[in-house]
Structures are given as structure tokens and as C-alpha cells.
């Protein structure tokens, strides 16, 4: 399905703003640093344009948004803003998928300094026996840091790009690990077995799922009762977070979308990490998930 979906098919180069630099991970994965007094003007101009485009979000009921007969009714077609797909879910425009060409950006050496992933990992409170899925694992930046924490369990690293899966498999061999499972999913299905995981982590990935509802329904099924979803997204409420608007999410939007499939919100920590929200949701014991009809109301 990944290849046949026009909204997913062309994974775009990822453009990041890291003030005062403009960092673009292009087809070669190279970073372009624009610095110096003169070169700051284009970056500032771009920040302005991007913040304007974020306010261009359209709500599902708006006249501008239309149902597309080829999509399920929970998605609508609206204005395509910068780096957006023009596909809307619960009032949010879905962004393009980050291409595998940006692996070097994901693996950048200053990521700890910028995003403090070690703090996020410590806050997961994993048990050695846990089976945790890293959904939208990419190059496995998180996956390979989680693996030593679950020596009697495993990390299932799920991604839809075969290039990411190859990278994950090669790196697992290089590191001599045996508890990482690279797992190719589909845009609308994690392909995980029902009741097979204790937790799922999604770091900077959920906002680019082209089929967020189907993905979350699939993940809901894959969780054991009482299992947790840990969602890390760049803070949309904070204009100082130097990331493109469509690659950010607010707490209110995240809660709305997670709760729509029957997950229970447990906590939000927006101070733990420099740029991201750290949110935890739970699959309540005995919960069967919400029916789609009731989700629309």
C-alpha cells in the first residue's frame, strides 16, 4: 500500500529551521548551514512565512474543506499549506513523510544537546522484560538506545520505508544486538500482532502518518491491556521551537486524536525536553477501542 498511496508516495526532503541556521536535509542527506549576518535574513523571512502557513489550518466543517470520495469520511481535503499534504484529520493538516535521505540528520551528533533524548528514554521507566515498539523508528536513534534497557524483552522498530528497515538491520548486526526486530509496516497498519506489546514510542513520527486513525486503531489492538503509548512531538504552542509548523503538534490536538481511538490520557510533561512534549496514554484494561461512527460526533 505504501507505494500506491499518492499522499505518501513522494516522501519529501525535510526542511528544518534551527535558528539562526536553516538546515535542509536534501536528497543527499547533506545539511546546508546558512549562517552569518547577511544570510540570517532569508532564515528570518522563512520563519515568518512558515508561521503564517501554520495559521492556515482549516477545520473539517469549514467550507474550504471537502470530503474526498476516495478517502474514508474521517479525512477531508483542504488547503495545501507549506510542506503539507492537503489531507486533513480532526482539523490538522498531515505533513509529508521525511525521506530516508535525512538519516544523517536523525543521527546528528548534537541531537542530545538539542533534544535531550536520554532524558526521554529515562522517563519511559521500562522493565527489562518489556516489549516496546518504536513506531516510525527511522534510523533507530531511539531503538538502539532502548534495546539495552529491555534485555529480556525486545524493541520492535517499525517503519514504512524499506531503506530504513535495511539501515536498522545493518546497524543491529554491527552492534551485535539480538533483541531488535526491524519490522516493515504499512501506511495504515503497523502489522503488529494483537496484544503483543507493552508499550509503543512515537518520536516525531505521528504527525506525518498519512492514515493516523487507521495507524492508531492498529496500535491500539497491538497493545496489551494497560499498555502505554508514549508520544513525543515538537511543541506547536511554542514559537521558539525551530521546527516547521506541520511537524509540530499541540497537546490539545494530540489528546483529541489519541482519545478518539479509546486511549486514556495519563500525563503530559512539556518541560522535560527542550523542544518536545512528552505525553503518555494508556489502553485501559478491558477497553475494546471506539467505533468509528461514535468518533465522528
Ligand X SMILES: C[S@@+](CC[C@H](N)C(=O)[O-])C[C@H]1O[C@@H](n2cnc3c(N)ncnc32)[C@H](O)[C@@H]1O
Work out whether 200 is an interface residue with ligand X (CB under 6 A): no
Work out whether 208 is an interface residue with ligand X (CB under 6 A): yes
Nearest distance from residue 202's CB to ligand X, in Å? 7
Work out whether 146 is an interface residue with ligand X (CB under 6 A): no
* CA atoms of 43 and 37, how far apart (whole Å): 11
CA angle, residues 196, 280, 54, in degrees to nearest 5: 115
* CA atoms of 147 and 209, how far apart (whole Å): 24
CB closer to ligand X, 187 vs 263 = 187
Nearest distance from residue 253's CB to ligand X, in Å? 17
The span of 70-78, 144-152, 200-208, 233-241 binding ligand X (CB under 6 A) equals 200-208
Cell of 160: 514504512
The span of 51-59, 67-75, 138-146, 237-245 binding ligand X (CB under 6 A) equals 138-146
Are 281 and 266 in contact by the 8 Å Cβ rule? The answer is: yes
* CA atoms of 142 and 115, how far apart (whole Å): 12
Exposed/middle/buried for residue 132 (C-beta within 10 Å: 0-12, 13-18, 19+): buried
Nearest distance from residue 232's CB to ligand X, in Å? 8
Q: Which of 198, 188, 181 is nearest to 218 (CA)?
A: 188
Site string for ligand X, 215-234 (x = CB under 6 A): x-------------------
Nearest distance from residue 201's CB to ligand X, in Å? 8
Work out whether 245 is an interface residue with ligand X (CB under 6 A): no
Using the structure block, give the residue that is written with the C-alpha cell 506525518.
208
Q: Looking at the chain, how many residues does it have?
A: 297
Q: By the criterion CB under 6 A, which residues form the site for ligand X?
A: 97-98, 106, 135-138, 141-142, 158-161, 164, 185, 187, 203-205, 208-209, 215
Amino acid at each position: 500500500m505504501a507505494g500506491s498511496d499518492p499522499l505518501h508516495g513522494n516522501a519529501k526532503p525535510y526542511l528544518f529551521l534551527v535558528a539562526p541556521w536553516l538546515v535542509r536535509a536534501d536528497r543527499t542527506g547533506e545539511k546546508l548551514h546558512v549562517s552569518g549576518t547577511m544570510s540570517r535574513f532569508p532564515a528570518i523571512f522563512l520563519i515568518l512565512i512558515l508561521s503564517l502557513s501554520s495559521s492556515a489550518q482549516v477545520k473539517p466543517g469549514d467550507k474550504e474543506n471537502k470530503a474526498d470520495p476516495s478517502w474514508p469520511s474521517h479525512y477531508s481535503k483542504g488547503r495545501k499549506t507549506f510542506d503539507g499534504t492537503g489531507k486533513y484529520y480532526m482539523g490538522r493538516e498531515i505533513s509529508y513523510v521525511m525521506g530516508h535521505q535525512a538519516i544523517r540528520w536523525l543521527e546528528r551528533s548534537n541531537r542530545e544537546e538539542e533534544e535531550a533524548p536520554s532524558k526521554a528514554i529515562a522517563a519511559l521507566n521500562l522493565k527489562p522484560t518489556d516489549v516496546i515498539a518504536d513506531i516510525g523508528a527511522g534510523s533507530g536513534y531511539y531503538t538502539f538506545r532502548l534495546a539495552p534497557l529491555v534485555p529480556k524483552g525486545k524493541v520492535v522498530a517499525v517503519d514504512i520505508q524499506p531503506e530504513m528497515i535495511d539501515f536498522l538491520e545493518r546497524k543491529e548486526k554491527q552492534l551485535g544486538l539480538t533483541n531488535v526486530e526491524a519490522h516493515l509496516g504499512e501506511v495504515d497498519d503497523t502489522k503488529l500482532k494483537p496484544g503483543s506489546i507493552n508499550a509503543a514510542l512515537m518520536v516525531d513520527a505521528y504527525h506525518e502518518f498519512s492514515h493516523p486513525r487507521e495507524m492508531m486503531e492498529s496500535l491500539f489492538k497491538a497493545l496489551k491491556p494497560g499498555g502505554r503509548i508514549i508520544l513525543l512531538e515538537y511543541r506547536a504552542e511554542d514559537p521558539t521551537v525551530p521546527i516547521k509548523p506541520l511537524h509540530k503538534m499541540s497537546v490539545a490536538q494530540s489528546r483529541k486524536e489519541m482519545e478518539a481511538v479509546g486511549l486514556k490520557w495519563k500525563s503530559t510533561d512539556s518541560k522535560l525536553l527542550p523542544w518536545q512534549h512528552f505525553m503518555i496514554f494508556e489502553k485501559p484494561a478491558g477497553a475494546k477501542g471506539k467505533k468509528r461512527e461514535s468518533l465522528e460526533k
